[in-house]
């Protein structure tokens, strides 16, 4: 009894041709070639998964509700924009815009015990500014208008840049080495300026009238341009009119 006979049989082929199904052995005893199928390594191809995810363009309305969204295979997607960020930016805009609305109303209309245009202009003259009345109007309109725009989320980079410029001028004129507000320092002005600078680059969030506009889709570019405008305006006020 033969346990293993590798010799071709009388009809050609080999004794293990049964492993090739119904395909007949080729003349000369060489079995026909068979198409092969790729073997699975058992490891997910994450490159293909992420390539598919990033090849789909996203619009401002597309976002991920949770920090990680699960696909049917159990793999997590890259974190996206979420409703919490929108709510946080809305609260920030309302708070900062409301503060500047009130300060602008003080300067423009004398509301909330404010000095009005004439009183604020006299204060600017005492600090050594030229064209104090014009500067009084410009400052009041910037604060009141910029605050209103922030509340509505309209032209947010421009509004934030204007308010940042006002705060930079206030910081330069007020700073005498003290930081805390309780000792007459610049703590309050610094916080307001930092918040305006942050909104300049984050944008207003989707709960805003800016939603879908070009500067909303490209906040870094729009914020950079408006920051340059604010820096130039502050330089003119401090170096030319003071």
Question: What was the pLDDT predicted at 53?
Answer: 41
Share of the chain above pLDDT 90, in %: 62
In order, the DSSP letters of 142-181 are: HHHHHHHHHHHTSSHHHHHHHHHHHHHHHHHHH-SS--SG
The per-residue pLDDT for range 7-42, each reduced to its tens digit, is 555 555 545 444 444 444 445 555 555 555 555 444
Q: Which residue has the higher pLDDT, 26 or 161?
A: 161
Share the mean pLDDT of the chain: 80
Query: Domain boundaries in the chain?
Result: 84-239
The per-residue pLDDT for range 60-102, each reduced to its tens digit, is 444 444 444 445 555 555 666 789 999 999 999 999 999 999 9
The per-residue pLDDT for range 126-144, each reduced to its tens digit, is 999 999 999 999 999 999 9
Question: What was the pLDDT predicted at 5?
Answer: 52
């Amino acid at each position: 009894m033969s346990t293993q006979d590798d010799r071709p049989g009388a009809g050609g082929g080999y004794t293990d041709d049964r492993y090739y199904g119904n395909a007949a052995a080729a003349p000369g005893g060489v079995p026909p070639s068979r198409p092969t199928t790729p073997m699975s390594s058992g490891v997910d191809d994450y490159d293909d998964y992420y390539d598919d995810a990033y090849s789909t363009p996203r619009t401002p309305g597309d976002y991920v509700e949770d920090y990680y969204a699960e696909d049917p295979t159990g793999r997590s997607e890259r974190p996206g924009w979420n409703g919490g960020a929108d709510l946080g930016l809305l609260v920030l805009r309302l708070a900062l815009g409301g503060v500047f609305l009130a300060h602008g109303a003080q300067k423009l209309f004398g509301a909330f015990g404010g000095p009005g245009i004439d009183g604020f202009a006299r204060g600017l003259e005492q600090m050594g500014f030229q064209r104090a009345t014009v500067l009084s109007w410009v400052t009041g309109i910037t604060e009141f208008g910029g605050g209103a725009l922030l509340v509505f989320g309209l032209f947010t980079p421009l509004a934030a840049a204007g308010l940042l410029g006002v705060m930079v001028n206030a910081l330069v004129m007020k700073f005498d080495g003290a930081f805390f507000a309780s000792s007459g320092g610049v703590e309050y002005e610094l916080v307001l300026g930092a918040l305006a600078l942050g909104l300049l680059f984050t944008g207003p969030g989707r709960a805003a009238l800016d939603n879908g506009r070009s500067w909303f889709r490209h906040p870094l570019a729009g914020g950079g341009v408006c920051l340059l405008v604010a820096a130039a305006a502050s330089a003119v006020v401090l170096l030319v009119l003071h």
